[in-house]
Amino acid sequence: MLQAPSTAPLIPQQHKLPNGNTLYYFPNSNLQLVKLDFTVEGGSGYQWVKSQAHAANQLFGEATAAHSAQEVAEFLDFRGITIERMTDVCQSNISVYFLRKYAAELFPLLREMFDMPLVTAQLFDAYKSRRRQQVAQGFQQTNYMARNRHYEMLYGPQHPLGCYAAPEDIDALQLCHVEEFIHKHFSLTYAHLVIGGQVDDELLALADQYLAPERNSSYSVARLKLPAPMPENLVVDHVVLPSAVQSSLRIGRVLPMDWRSPEYAQFMVLNTLLGGYFGSRLMSNLREEKGYTYGIYSMTQIFRGSILFFVAADVAGEATQAAVQECLSEIDRLKNEPVSNEELDRVRNVMMGDFIRSVDGTFEITERYRQMVTTDVTEQFSANYFDAVQHVTPEQLQSLARQYFVQLKVVTAGPQLTN
């Protein structure tokens, strides 16, 4: 019997800051690097203008009232400090990577970014130019259009997960929209703080001094609760991109379950069988046997309040309809034929290995923990996961396939289909 790895590495140590906030940290004295995550309630679900949250995330901290964008960039570059930015539907995240020896110099600047954020007209105009080009290019890419159209069909065009920006939306974005969003959502007072790496008493003292402003109720933002999906009646759609030579496909649905349910963990095993690893059924069929694609996968994605299952692939344009049919045939096989114990044991080993790799390192652990916080997932999920991987039966997987591989919506994007 496979042994479940310990989940203890995912439980952070906690340090209470002077303002009552909690700093969560994963110490590793062998590292010279530190990763500091700021996560705020400032995702696209809060915006009232399209691309507003993304612009705020990308422009926050580029300059301050006391330091120009050039001065900030030179400060970071000289010390090898890097900043990564990410925005999802609920939250916005800023990850800062730095050598421990620079913490005393960096922390005052980080505090300044939150206390005195500045977005200049020059920075904003440069962002709009880049972003408009990115979005315009996306509208010519099959995978971009298939993904967006699939989300729109699954959630509805008014849902935060179902709407997306067009080039003209970028043109309509104004500097005041970004400034107001930053002022409202990018608050150090209410940020969720996670540190990994060389965390010692001196670093915690710096956090006490610079990362714990007095609480200001005017910055408090109500936690976003996403509305229920309002899907379109359309089940199959094709987005025509005349210049495309390949097609992208998406097949899936919103799952009517909660991550806390043991059934969801069991469904993850079913998903892995279908398309969750290199030796999966979809890869064996569409890549190895048919040669329709270089790669195909299926996955589940947890959002706050919903779980999405989908299959995705890029295929030769002339093979679009055949590839969709083969995907549906593999789904039907799981509904009609119990998986063999040999194949299931192989999947069990793959899933255990995937988990171990996902926590193989301090920064990997902090990232996994951050994702758990973002999606409101707790360690109950890991317990369910290990139980499902070890004990789910072929009969249970077949029952899940019959129950949940239904009402699938299919989107393809590429050249005009031929009958």
- 225-253 pLDDT, tens digit per residue, is 888 899 999 999 999 999 999 999 999 99
- Give me the mean pLDDT over the 300-319 stretch: 94
- 314-370 pLDDT, tens digit per residue, is 999 999 999 999 999 999 999 999 999 999 999 999 999 988 887 778 888 888 888
At 378 the pLDDT is 81
Cα-based angle 271, 289, 276 (whole degrees, multiple of 5): 15
Strand-pair partners of 92:
40, 87
Res 220 pLDDT > 70: no
Q: Domains in the chain and their CATH numbers?
A: 8-219 (3.30.830.10), 236-414 (3.30.830.10)
Least confident of 16-25, 36-45, 176-185, 214-223: 214-223
Q: List the structure tokens of 176.
A: 């005041």
Dihedrals phi, psi of 80, to nearest 5 degrees: 70, 25
Question: For residues 120 and 111, what is the distance between their CA atoms, to the nearest angstrom?
Answer: 19
8-17, 354-363, 408-417: which has the highest mean pLDDT?
A: 408-417
Among 377, 362, 367, which residue's Cα sits nearest to residue 84? 367
At 8 the pLDDT is 59
Alpha helices in 156-216 (DSSP H): 167-172, 175-185, 201-210
Task: Enumerate residues 6+ apart whose C-beta is below 8 A from 245.
Answer: 317, 415
Least confident of 323-332, 335-344, 379-388, 395-404: 379-388
Query: In residues, how long is the chain?
Result: 419
- 127-165 pLDDT, tens digit per residue, is 999 999 999 999 999 999 999 999 999 999 999 999 999
- Give me the mean pLDDT over the 203-229 stretch: 85
Percentage of the residues of the chain whose pLDDT score is greater than 90: 83
Task: Enumerate residues 6+ apart whose C-beta is below 8 A from 360.
Answer: none
Half-sphere exposure (Cβ direction) of 44: Cα atoms closer than 13 Å: 18
At 7 the pLDDT is 55
**DSSP per position, 53-80:** HHHHHHHTTSEESSS-HHHHHHHHHHTT
> Is the pLDDT higher at 410 or at 219?
410
- 257-301 pLDDT, tens digit per residue, is 998 899 999 999 999 999 999 999 999 999 999 999 999 999 999
Q: What is the DSSP letter of 190?
A: G
Mean pLDDT of the chain: 93
Percentage of the residues of the chain whose pLDDT score is greater than 70: 96
At 244 the pLDDT is 94
Question: For residues 197 and 36, what is the distance between their CA atoms, to the nearest angstrom?
Answer: 9
Among 256, 265, 267, 252, which residue's Cα sits nearest to residue 313? 252
Question: Given the structure tokens 């977005």, which residue do they identify?
Answer: 119
> pLDDT band at residue 377, thresholds of 50, 70 and 90?
confident
